[in-house]
A and B are shown apart, each in its own frame.
Chain A
Amino acid sequence: MNIGFSLFVVFALTLIAFVGAGQMGWQALFGVWIPYGALLVFLGGVVYRVVRWAKAPVPFRIPTSCGQQKSLPWIRSGFFENPHNTWGAIGRMALEVLFFRSLFRNTKVSLENKRPVYGGAKWLWLAALTFHWTFLVIVARHLRFFTEPVPLPINLLAAMDGLFEIAVPTLYLSDAAFILAVTYLFLRRVAIPQVRYISLAADYFPLFLILGIASSGVCMRHFSKVDLQKVKELSLGWFTFQPAVPEGIGIIFYIHLFLVCSLLIYFPFSKLMHLGGIFLSPTRNLANNNRSRRHINPWDYRVRVHTYQEYEEEFRERMKDAGIPVEKE
């Protein structure tokens, strides 16, 4: 049901764009107002979510240590795996965010002769890393629609991305890798019984939506070509706040754009916020210097304890008989 529903929603969104920007001719709505609205929701939503997390205090310093602690000077500590200062913690976060360090540890358990064995399972890491990095490359490439003249780094990136010059216009490697990676992430979600068991609509929907965005984009580039000059006119207009919708861009563009807008709107209210959340994760972003620097809990309060005096009061005679020193003879 979760898969069907998610797929249905993505198709419905496509249809809305097809009918709205096509049959109905609401190109200003789909070309200008929805994108503006989506961007606002995205920015506002992300800020809201991050602020909401940040407002909750971190009462205890609870890093997960994945390497040797810093203790005695002659024992080498894991600077990134178990950081003892802020630099180490920054390095650890960088490894997490840029290279998915923790996911790289992944293993897969299986029973052989009724004994568990732990095999390597790096495909998830590889697909996830590919997916996120190619997504970034693709977003960066799109900057050529928002800049005039196009800055050199973006052109260089695009040139490298299309290095092999397969097909005309050249196939971007990032596009291909991106679609492969997303497809893998979807297939493993369906094929691995445990992962399918835990998957919600909220897990399938973004995959389908992103796949829809990618395929409409590729389609626009290679099959149902649109006038890129006009697209650029439109996109430059957004950022100069003088949006004008050129005639005859082609419906596929509006579908692509509407799906992107849907993603932007969906993003802040979904699990995709792990993008912002990971930076705030207290098991990763804190240095393991608990015993050398005191961590303050802002809502700390006094609690009822059993004092030594109460304790001695109860046991004094027996303590004295046993020869244990007491405060009050």
Chain B
Amino acid sequence: MSLAKAPKPDQLTQIDYHPPQSGWMETPVRFKPGTWCYAAPAKNLKALGMPNPREWQVSDADWKLPPNWKEIILNGFRERLEKFRSFRLFLDICVRCGACADKCHFYIGSGDPKNMPVLRAELLRSIYRRYFTNSGKALGRLAGARDLTEDVLKEWFYYFYQCTECRRCSVFCPYGIDQAEITMLGRELLNLVGCNIHWAMEPAANCFRTGNHLGIQPHGVKDMLDFISQDIEDRTGIHIDVPLNKKGADILFVAPSADYFADPGTYTCMGYLLLFHELGLNYTWSTYASEGGNFGLFISHEMIKRLNAKIYAEARRLGVKWIIGGECGHMWRVLHQYMDTLNGPADFLEEPVSPITGTRFENARSTKMVHIAEFTADLIRHGKLRLDPRRNNHLRLTFHDSCNPSRAMGLFEEPRYILRSVADHFYEMPENTIRENTFCCGSGAGLGTDENMEMRLRGGFPRANAVKYVKEKHGVNRMACICAIDRAVFVPLLEYWVPGVEVTGLHELVGNALVMKGEKARETDLRGAPLQVTEERQNV
């Protein structure tokens, strides 16, 4: 379903928060077009050695499950109860207070009660009770237990691929129950019997082979970076030779592949390139580790590890000292919370020290990977960059906190500090919708595919509405973010809900404002749009 075919905003906002008459166990899942993602084709599963590769589709009556699918699921369930304290605990201690219910963007946008995080978790809990607790075995329905059937499995599929693992519910839960954890493990179970989605599996298969989600081969990566470099020269007069797979570089730079693949990510990429060039940084990109993102996060813990391994491996091969990571949300969930555990220790690297300011990034002393917003904020703080914020005067900006850097890191002030340094017109969205309360784009966790458009628009509704608020109040025309999925999916989302607001990466704004040695007088921003400050430009 494309944007054109999606229901109109007036229809989508007819949201009824009243649950149906029938109890949730009696209400069967309805696969409405526009609200689910296509199944993964066999070739991608084969490429990754995943179970039950076959051609099937979600709308088929027969999902071609293996004959012993139930046994596989229940064994997988038991195994995960023993391996993850979080899993058993989160299944056990929920009191169903409902505090999480209206915190989910999918619930707010759809009114479907099974999108309340508590009920999404009950989909698994009911099976847990039935097969793994005495009360559930003895009392059945009365204890909230139910049998595992194909319909239950389909319901899992529908709703675990209607959760973007954004963790907003876990901020509000009095016990910190994290639906992202439930969804991740629920999806792991589905993957055991081959129930997975194309939009997660194809990027993973691509990434495994070519090093990036988009399947761009090494020469393609070079072409794209060269192309971007050419654009940079046109707009700034600066010539940049992009270092690629360079041994002896001090720093490996890893960005989400979308940043060198498609607009508006490419403008963020220009920002990276300009910044590193101006600093004279001895760094390199890699074609092998050409993806910071990790769609393994949307498949299984094992797949996270398999795809993530290349970053440290490449850092070791190239002999760099440490690593900088670009602007990407779920990428940083993995880098911050999983990488060191899964593929560390990175004892062959050095504790990151900025070669420009001498700042020691103590918070990254084990992982040896620094977020580019941390790196740049430090540069600005030490006065190492000449910035002319007026070059962003044509933009009235707001900032969208991406879910993972917010709720799995706490990266709030670094991007804001940068934003205020490179632009004069910055307006926050309302308190309840930013920082740890930020609302998801509605398209993360592998759900950002066109056939799922209605659900994406619904999920993105709370965020878009907050953008609309600052647009009406402050005339905001550009939303900044630090996530590649955001940069891809917010374009149609805002076009639908808040026409007239564009999307930008943080380092695009840095690239606009950066006053560089040997640049020509800038008449346009990095997108080629005319600046509003060219005549009265002064030295800064």
Which A residues fall within an 8 A CB radius of B? 2, 5, 49, 52-54, 56-62, 64-72, 74-78, 81-82, 84, 96, 100, 102-103, 105-109, 111, 114-116, 118, 124, 128, 192-195, 197-203, 269, 271, 273-274, 277-278, 280-284, 288-297, 299-300, 303-308, 311-312, 314-315, 318-319, 321-325, 327
Contacts and interface: CB of A to CB of B under 8 A. Distances in A.
Contact of A318 (B99, B218, B408): B218
Contacts of B408: 62, 64-65
B18 interface: yes
A225 B359 CA distance: 73
B135 interface: yes
B306 A305 contact: yes
A78 B436 CA distance: 12
Interface in B43-58: 49
Given A60-B338, A82-B410, A128 B97 contact: yes
Interface residues of B, number: 116
B310 A306 contact: yes
A183 to B, nearest CB: 16
A70 B374 CA distance: 11
Contacts of A321: 219
Interface stretch (B29-37, B168-176, B229-237): B168-176
Contact of B337 (A70, A74, A290): A290
B219 A281 contact: no
B177 A281 contact: yes
B92 A273 contact: yes
The 8 closest A-B pairs by CB, nearest first: A69-B410, A277-B93, A65-B410, A283-B176, A322-B219, A291-B367, A284-B176, A197-B19
Q: Which of B87, B219, B246, B374: most chain A CB closer than 10 A?
A: B219
Interface of B: 10, 13, 15, 17-19, 23-24, 49, 81-89, 92-99, 101-103, 108, 113, 116, 118-119, 122, 134-135, 142-144, 167, 170-178, 181, 208-211, 217-219, 222-223, 244-247, 287-288, 301-302, 305-306, 309-310, 313-314, 317, 335-338, 340-342, 344-345, 359, 361-367, 369, 374, 377-378, 381, 406-414, 417, 430, 432-433, 436-437, 461-462, 465, 468
B297 to A, nearest CB: 11
Contact of A72 (B92, B223, B245, B374): B374
A297 B342 contact: yes
A197 B170 CA distance: 21
A194 B116 CA distance: 9
Nearest to A201: B142
A78 B407 CA distance: 13
A76 B98 CA distance: 33
A164 B178 CA distance: 44
B86 A282 contact: yes
Contact of A58 (B86, B287, B317): B86
A315 B290 CA distance: 14
A115 B139 CA distance: 43
A200 B178 contact: no
9 contacts: A62-B408, A66-B436, A277-B175, A280-B89, A281-B93, A281-B175, A297-B342, A299-B83, A306-B208
A303 B95 contact: no
Given A303-B306, A304-B49, A61 B143 contact: no
Q: Which of B89, B245, B361: most chain A CB closer than 10 A?
A: B89
A290 B378 contact: no
Contact of A292 (B17, B23, B364): B364
Nearest to A61: B337
Contacts of A56: 81-85, 87-89
Nearest to B174: A103
Contacts of A293: 366
Contacts of A192: 98
A5 B177 CA distance: 28
A321 B175 CA distance: 57
A77 B219 CA distance: 43
A59 B83 contact: yes
Given A69-B411, A318-B218, A321-B219, A203 B363 contact: no
A260 B99 CA distance: 28
A88 B84 CA distance: 24
Contacts of B83: 56-57, 59, 299
